[in-house]
Structure 1
């Protein structure tokens, strides 16, 4: 009789231990929260973070420049620029088009023939006075090249935000809630009403966004 009683008690004890371990594992390994569909740059995850925390999300910076009161760093081939004030991400800029160090090193100073060998045939070229502007498609990246005196003078890259419509709906691509603007005209949209941020601005390039700038609330 005593053995019969001990057996179910042992089973219950084992079951209790398993449930306790599972509960601890759930607490220690919570489900990773995925960004909403359509988000290109999750601004709330960058705002107010330290440089180390930002690097976990964006990788190492292309370069950083230190001033008296701030640290200015460029990430992801200059597509994202962040100014750290008091050690926290305070100004965040997402560029629609930007100079890419990788492409600058790759093609600048090359002749048109050498650039074609590296980038392939251009999608189109436009002649303007002393310069020739050509657009190339390198995989998923659009690269604009300016030739002066037959050599590459400047290269710019079209970023993910460059095709975003100049509209309040583009806030979704920045991980932000869609709200009515505080100010708007054909060149600039500004929001002063987004929780946790001092201001958000979209600058237009025709019907698309050229630059997004975000100011974080800091002391």
Structure 2
């Protein structure tokens, strides 16, 4: 019985680390890229025209990107419930851990990540709710 219990615990630990093992979305591969390149990474999209440029939804709406000047500029990634609401969450976005510029009860923001204007993570009920990334345009 003890050996079986050990296997179960080991399996559960493996599963829990697998959630954070790789990024939910590696924003470094899509930030600043054109719509064709982004579609190769994220798959098909549903797009509409807004004031700033095309706004496209990927992965059943869990990723929304506004293309400004033809480049992926404003990126919103939803459904991050399994991502902890702390500085380690950057790993789930394909980013290296960095010191936050601001930490509030409902949002953590980074303004010093190379290649990005800002990265904001919003608190969910348990972990994180969504991330909002600005690449170039305020």
TM-score greater than 0.5 by the shorter chain: yes
> Could you state the TM-score of these two structures normalised by the residue count of structure 1?
0.52
Instruction: Show CA shifts across 1:47-83 (max 9, x none).
Output: 000000000001110x111124311000000010000
How far is the alpha carbon of 1:38 from its aligned partner? Answer: 2.2
Number of corresponding residues: 119
What is the RMSD of the two structures over their aligned residues, measured on CA atoms?
1.7
Deviation at 1:175, TM superposition (A): 0.4
Deviations 1:35-55 (A, max 9, x none): x94212100001000000000
TM-score with structure 2 setting the length: 0.81
Alignment gaps of 5+ in structure 2: 1-19
Q: Is 2:49 aligned against 1:58?
A: no
Higher normalized contact order (CA 8 Å, seq sep 6+, divided by chain length): 2
Task: State the 4+ residue runs in structure 1 displaced beyond 2 angstroms.
Answer: none
Which structure 2 residues correspond to residues 36-185 of structure 1 after superposition, within 5 A? 37-61=21-45, 63-96=46-79, 161-185=80-104
Structure with more strand by fraction:
1
Q: Structure 1: which 5+ residue stretches go unaligned?
A: 1-35, 97-160
The structure with the larger Rg is 1
